[in-house]
C-alpha cells in the first residue's frame, strides 16, 4: 500500500521489476492472494501474461462467495496486487504469489471488509501519532501422520520434546525444508525448534513492519502445509488438537519506532528498560484483553488451550520474567530489541485482524495515558482466587461465547474492526459457538451414555 514512482507505462518501478522477474524466472501462473475475515487464504490464479493488467486494472472476482465479504447483489470486487509481496512458490517453481488489496468496484475505494485494509487503518493511526509498528510472531504447529487415504490423523510422527534433536525429533528434516522454502520466498527466519509436545514445532520470524509480518503469517501457514504434505504429513495450526498436552500459540512481539529509527519502547534508565510509552501501550492491551481474545483466539478450540497448567497465559498481567502472564517483557541485548511479547494469541487467528486490534489497544493506552500495573514476578498459576483478587488480576474469557460478549461490550476494540468486519465477524463467531453448544462430544458419550 505504498506509493511508488510511476513509469511511463503506468506501472511503478517495483511493478516493472516484477514483470521482469516473471519473464526472467519463467513464471507461468500468478496466485493473487487475499484472506477472508476468518483468515483463510483465498487466491485467484491467472496466467503470468496477465500480470501487467493485474497491476494497471486489477483482477475482478465475485466477493459474495467469500466469508464475510458482500451480498450477491453487490458482489463485484477487484484485486490490486502489492508488487512488494511477489515471491516464487517453492513447491511450484513456475508459480508465484502476489498478495492483494481488495477494492470495492462501486466506489473505487479500498474495501472495508478486507482484513488487510483493517490492519492498514491501524497502521495509519500509528503513523498519525508518529510511530511505525514492528512485529515478530512465533507460530507453533503440529505435524501429524496421514492415514492410507491421505486424511489427517492425530498421530504424531515423533516423540520429541522441547529443543530435542534427532533421533527423537524426526521432523527436523521437514522443518529444514520448510525453512528453505520460506527463505526462497524472502522470509528472514530467526530460529526453529521442536516444541514441548510430541509432534509440535515452532519457527520464528525476524522483525518486520506489521503489514509485511501479517502477510508472512498468512503465507507461512500455506507453505508449512504444502511442504509437510510433500513428506506425507499434515500440518495443523489448530490451537489444541490433542487433549491434555500443550497447545499451539503464536506469541507476538511488538514495538514502536520513530521515522528516524528510534525504538520508542526503550528507556535505558528504567528498571525494565521500558519507556513510559511502552508501559502505556502494555496497559492498553491489558485493559482490553477480554475483547481482544475474541480476535486473537477466535475459535471454540482456542479456549481448550487457554487453561492453567499447559504454559498458555490466562491471567491479565505482565511480567519481565514470568511466562504465566499475558504479556512478557523479553530480555533485550540492544536498545532496538526492546519490545513486549503478547503471549495469548494463537495461530488460528486472522493475522491482519489480530495485529490490528492489538495495535489499536496499545495506541489507546498511549492516547489515554493508561496506568500500567506493577509486573507480577511470581508464578500466577500457583495463586488461588483470593490472592489473584488481592493483586487485581483478571482472567481471559473461558470460552468463545464469553469472548464475543466482551468484544461487543468493548467499543474501542469492536470499532477497530471497522463497520463491515465487526458485525460480520461477530455473526460468524456467534454461529460457530451456537453449533458447538448443540454438539454432543465423544467425551460426553464416554462419560454419560452407559452411566444414566
Whether 138 is catalytic: yes
97 is catalytic: no
Catalytic hit among 140, 158, 215, 410: 140
Under 8 Å between Cβ of 37 and 68 = yes
What DSSP assignment string belongs to 204-223? EEPPEEHHHHHHHHHHHHHH
> Which CA distances in Å does 270 have to 250, 320, 376?
28, 12, 17
Active site residue 343: yes
The residue from 82, 114, 138, 410 that is catalytic is 138
Catalytic residue among 97, 266, 343, 360: 343
Among this protein's residues, is 62 annotated catalytic?
Answer: yes
Integer Cα distance of 414 and 70 in angstroms: 19
Task: Evaluate the CA torsion angle 376, 381, 383, 387 in order and state its sign.
Answer: positive
Concerning whether 17 is annotated as a catalytic residue, the answer is no
Exactly one of 21, 193, 225, 323 is catalytic; name it: 323
Active site residue 140: yes
Instruction: Identify which of 69, 68, 126 has the alpha carbon closest to the alpha carbon of residue 358.
Output: 126
User: Long-range contact list for 380-384, CB < 8 A, 24+ apart?
Assistant: 380/315, 380/317, 380/322, 380/324, 380/325, 381/308, 381/309, 381/324, 383/315
Q: Residue 341 catalytic?
A: yes
Active site residue 148: no
Residue 435 cell numbers, joined: 453449533
Catalytic residue from among 101, 114, 164, 202: 202
Locus of grid cell 460426553:
444
Measured distance CA(256)–CA(394) in Å, rounded: 27
Active-site residue, from 13, 23, 62, 390: 62
**Residue ranges at the known binding site for ATP:** 190, 205-207, 253-255, 323
Cis peptide preceding 167, ω within 30 of 0: yes
Q: Per the structure block, which three cell numbers stand in for 247?
A: 497447545
CA distance linking residue 129 with residue 368, whole number of Å = 13
49 catalytic, yes or no?
A: no
What does DSSP assign to residue 72?
A: G
User: Which residues are CB-contacts of 358 (< 8 A; sequence separation ≥ 6)?
Assistant: 252, 254, 285, 292, 296, 342, 345
Looking at 215, 341, 346, 410, which residue is catalytic? 341
3-state secondary structure of 145: strand
The cell numbers describing 377, all together, are 514476578
Catalytic positions, written as ranges:
62, 138, 140, 195, 202, 251, 323, 341, 343
Amino acid at each position: 500500500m505504498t506509493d511508488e514512482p510511476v513509469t511511463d507505462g503506468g506501472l511503478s518501478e517495483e511493478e516493472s521489476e516484477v514483470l521482469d522477474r516473471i519473464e526472467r524466472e519463467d513464471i507461468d501462473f500468478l496466485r493473487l492472494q487475499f484472506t477472508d475475515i476468518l483468515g483463510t487464504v483465498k487466491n485467484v490464479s491467472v496466467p503470468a501474461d496477465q500480470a501487467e493488467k493485474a497491476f494497471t486494472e486489477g483482477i475482478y472476482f465475485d466477493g459474495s462467495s467469500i466469508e464475510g465479504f458482500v451480498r450477491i447483489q453487490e458482489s463485484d470486487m477487484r484485486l490490486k496486487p502489492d508488487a512488494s509481496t511477489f515471491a516464487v512458490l517453492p513447491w511450484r517453481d513456475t508459480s508465484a504469489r502476489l498478495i492483494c488489496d481488495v477494492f470495492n468496484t462501486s466506489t473505487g475505494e479500498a474495501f472495508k471488509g478486507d482484513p488487510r485494509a483493517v490492519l492498514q487503518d491501524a497502521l495509519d493511526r500509528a503513523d498519525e501519532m508518529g510511530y511505525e509498528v514492528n512485529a515478530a510472531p512465533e507460530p507453533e504447529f503440529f505435524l501429524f501422520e496421514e492415514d492410507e487415504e491421505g486424511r489427517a490423523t492425530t498421530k504424531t510422527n515423533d516423540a520429541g520434546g522441547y529443543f530435542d534433536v534427532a533421533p527423537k525429533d524426526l521432523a527436523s528434516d521437514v522443518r529444514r525444508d520448510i525453512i528453505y522454502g520460506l527463505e526462497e520466498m524472502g522470509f528472514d527466519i530467526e530460529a526453529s525448534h521442536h516444541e514441548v509436545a510430541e509432534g509440535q514445532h515452532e519457527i520464528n520470524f525476524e522483525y518486520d513492519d506489521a503489514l509485511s509480518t501479517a502477510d508472512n503469517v498468512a503465507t507461512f501457514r500455506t507453505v508449512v502445509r504444502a511442504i509437510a504434505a510433500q513428506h506425507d504429513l499434515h500440518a495443523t495450526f489448530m490451537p489444541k488438537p490433542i487433549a491434555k498436552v500443550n497447545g499451539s500459540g503464536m506469541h507476538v512481539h511488538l514495538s514502536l519506532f520513530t521515522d528516524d529509527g528510534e525504538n520508542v519502547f526503550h528507556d535505558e534508565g528504567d528498571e525494565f528498560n521500558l519507556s513510559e510509552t511502552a508501559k502505556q501501550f502494555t496497559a492498553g492491551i491489558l485493559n482490553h484483553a477480554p475483547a481482544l481474545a475474541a480476535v486473537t483466539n477466535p475459535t471454540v478450540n482456542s479456549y481448550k488451550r487457554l487453561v492453567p497448567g499447559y504454559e498458555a497465559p490466562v491471567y491479565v498481567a505482565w511480567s519481565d520474567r514470568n511466562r504465566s502472564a499475558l504479556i512478557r517483557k523479553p530480555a533485550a541485548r540492544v536498545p532496538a530489541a526492546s519490545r513486549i511479547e503478547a503471549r495469548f494469541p494463537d495461530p488460528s487467528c486472522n493475522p491482519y485482524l489480530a495485529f490490528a486490534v492489538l495495535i489499536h489497544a496499545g495506541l489507546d493506552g498511549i492516547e489515554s495515558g493508561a496506568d500500567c500495573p506493577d509486573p507480577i514476578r511470581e508464578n500466577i498459576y500457583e495463586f488461588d482466587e483470593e490472592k489473584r483478587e488481592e493483586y487485581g488480576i483478571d482472567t481471559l474469557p473461558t470460552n468463545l461465547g464469553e469472548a464475543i460478549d466482551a468484544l461487543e461490550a468493548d467499543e474501542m476494540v469492536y470499532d477497530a474492526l471497522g463497520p463491515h468486519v465487526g458485525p460480520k465477524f461477530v455473526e460468524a463467531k456467534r454461529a460457530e459457538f451456537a453449533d458447538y453448544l448443540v454438539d454432543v462430544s465423544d467425551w460426553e458419550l464416554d462419560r454419560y451414555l452407559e452411566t444414566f
